[in-house]
Structure 1
Amino acid sequence: MGEIVEELNPLVGGNHKHEFENVNKVEIVLKTVGPARPSRLLVPSSIKVRDLRGLIASNGRLPIDNLSLILRGTVLCDEKNGDDVYIQLNDGDSLIVAVKPKPPVRDGYDDDDDDDDDLKFKLPRSSSLWKKRLYSFLHDNLRLPDILLMFIFSLSLKAWALTIMWFVLAPIAHKWDLGPVYIIATGFALILFNLGKRQAGDVSAYSIFNEDFRELPGTLNADRLDRDIRAGQF
């Protein structure tokens, strides 16, 4: 390990002058990936990862957005399930600091990156505690894909109750040799309950469902073609 040649103290001066006063402080070792030599940093023993990242970035003049922190082999995240993450530091802990390089700009691939971000599911901050715990278990322990998590948390409690009821009744229908009828009836029920309701004054795209078979403006049919031909618009 290289010689520790610099001691940074964010607790004196700066924007954090009064924020961390009267707290238990520990000295940690920062090992920056690259040619920089290790340094020491005096920080509170219990601190938010977000605040620690800000202290390291401001004192080392590093880009905070691309700053990655690794403690005891674990990459530190600012928040988890919408809540700020706290860490407990001990005197002499070593923290690896890495600046992630910016990805090169590639024409034609920006839209693909945006699509990948859209597929990443994040639980809203306003979610209840049990939802956050369930999300943490499914995402961190079972490592379910984001697309499946999106489907699970998009269903309402009523939809989950009906789904569970369907699976409970399915063996009974199979026992009475009504499996095909049960599946067909389920399909018709899904279609029937998802037709939606039109507001007053709305018309259907299909004229057969409208009063006096009224069509939507601009509908192209045989009568419209005949009128245009007779009017010399073709």
Structure 2
Amino acid sequence: MEEIKDEVELFEEKVEIILKTIGPTRPSRLLVPSSIKVRDLRRLIARNNESPVDNLSLILHGDALCDMKNGDDIYIKLNDGDCLMVAVKPKPPVKDGYDNDDDEEDLKFQLPRSSSPWKRRLYSILHDKLKLPDIILMVIFTLSLKAWVFIIMWFIFAPVAHRWDLGPLYILATGFCLILFNLGKRQAGDVSAYSIFNEDFQELPGTLNADRLDRDIRAGQF
């Protein structure tokens, strides 16, 4: 709280805004800097209304205010007499059993704060202006530069293969390449699940085959 006070005192120009809390509460007035971070404004309002910061939702001129965008703090410009709607979100009820909300949160893609400025700019264009789904953004930003080079080269050579009537062969070769390049590498001492690739055709413990069935039958375990 002391850090907020120090930051507020740095601003000379202050304005008085009107806070309208949804519910039976009367409107109140609050003196704040004319230019302020949404994060700090939320904290000031939470302290003024004695409400939890995380449950506050602020609406200015019909738009919901967000604390950050693409990893950067958002500043807003306030004028004297501006009306700010304040809503206190209720705590979600405790649900029993499996909830799909966790899966939906996993599908929401957020750019890491350590990302470079050009990645943030590209993310802002794709997410805010083009409105691409999160699953597409996840694919775009998680692929490495080498993967994008291979994808671009594939689309460049695809018309050439089609022109030479090698389209089916080109697709089959692509499938085999994907399989080969995605094969895992065994560490020293690891055993393959396929005994034919192991030394002395060693099998994994618990492998069920004809020899084991024969031994179990002879031993009277069936």
Q: TM-score, structure 1 length as denominator?
A: 0.87
Residue identity opposite 2:214 in structure 1: D
Aligned counterparts of 1:214 and 1:151: Cα–Cα separation in 2: 40
Runs of 4+ in 1 over 6 A off after TM superposition: none
Q: Which residue of 1 aligns with 2:180?
A: 192
Aligned counterparts of 1:180 and 1:132: Cα–Cα separation in 2: 39
1:86-105 pair list within 5 angstroms: 86-105=75-94
Q: Which residue of 2 aligns with 1:83?
A: 72
Residue identity opposite 1:144 in structure 2: L
SS in 2 for 1:40: strand
Name which of 146, 150, 159 aligns with 2:138.
150
Name which of 70, 73, 81 aligns with 2:59.
70
Residue-by-residue CA offset, 1:160-193 (whole Å, 9 max, x unaligned): 1110111111111112221111111111111111
How much does 1:84 deviate? 1.7
List gaps (5 residues or longer) in structure 1. 1-12
Q: Which residue of 1 aligns with 2:129?
A: 141
16-25 or 144-153, which deviates more: 16-25
Q: Which structure's residues are more often helix, by fraction? A: 2
Aligned counterparts of 1:106 and 1:199: Cα–Cα separation in 2: 44
Is 2:173 the counterpart of 1:170?
Answer: no
Task: Give the alignment's Cα RMSD to 1 decimal.
Answer: 1.8
Q: Which residue of 2 aligns with 1:159?
A: 147
Aligned counterparts of 1:65 and 1:182: Cα–Cα separation in 2: 54
How much does 1:67 deviate? 0.8
Residue identity opposite 1:36 in structure 2: T
Residue identity opposite 1:65 in structure 2: D
Q: Which residue of 2 aligns with 1:57?
A: 46
List gaps (5 residues or longer) in structure 2. none
Residue-by-residue CA offset, 1:60-118 (whole Å, 9 max, x unaligned): 0122222100112211111111222221222222211111223333323x531111111
Aligned counterparts of 1:130 and 1:161: Cα–Cα separation in 2: 18
SS in 2 for 1:17: helix
Check 1:22–1:126 CA distance in 2 against 1; reply closer, same or farther (3 A cut): closer
Aligned counterparts of 1:97 and 1:136: Cα–Cα separation in 2: 27
SS in 2 for 1:18: helix
Check 1:131–1:14 CA distance in 2 against 1; reply closer, same or farther (3 A cut): closer
Aligned counterparts of 2:140 and 2:5: Cα–Cα separation in 1: 45
Aligned counterparts of 1:125 and 1:22: Cα–Cα separation in 2: 27
Residue-by-residue CA offset, 1:45-70 (whole Å, 9 max, x unaligned): 22111111111011101222221001
Q: Does structure 1 conserve the Cα–Cα contact (< 8 Å) formed by 2:71 and 2:111?
A: yes
Q: Does structure 1 conserve the Cα–Cα contact (< 8 Å) formed by 2:4 and 2:40?
A: no
Q: Does structure 1 conserve the Cα–Cα contact (< 8 Å) formed by 2:17 and 2:82?
A: yes
Check 1:111–1:231 CA distance in 2 against 1; reply closer, same or farther (3 A cut): same
Q: Which residue of 2 aligns with 1:5?
A: none
Q: How many residues align?
A: 221
Residue identity opposite 1:176 in structure 2: W
Question: Alignment identity in percent?
Answer: 77
98-107 or 65-74, which deviates more: 98-107
Residue identity opposite 1:165 in structure 2: M
Q: Which residue of 1 aligns with 2:107?
A: 119
Q: TM-score, structure 2 length as denominator?
A: 0.92
Q: Which residue of 1 aligns with 2:15?
A: 26
Q: Does structure 1 conserve the Cα–Cα contact (< 8 Å) formed by 2:18 and 2:27?
A: yes
216-225 or 182-191, which deviates more: 216-225
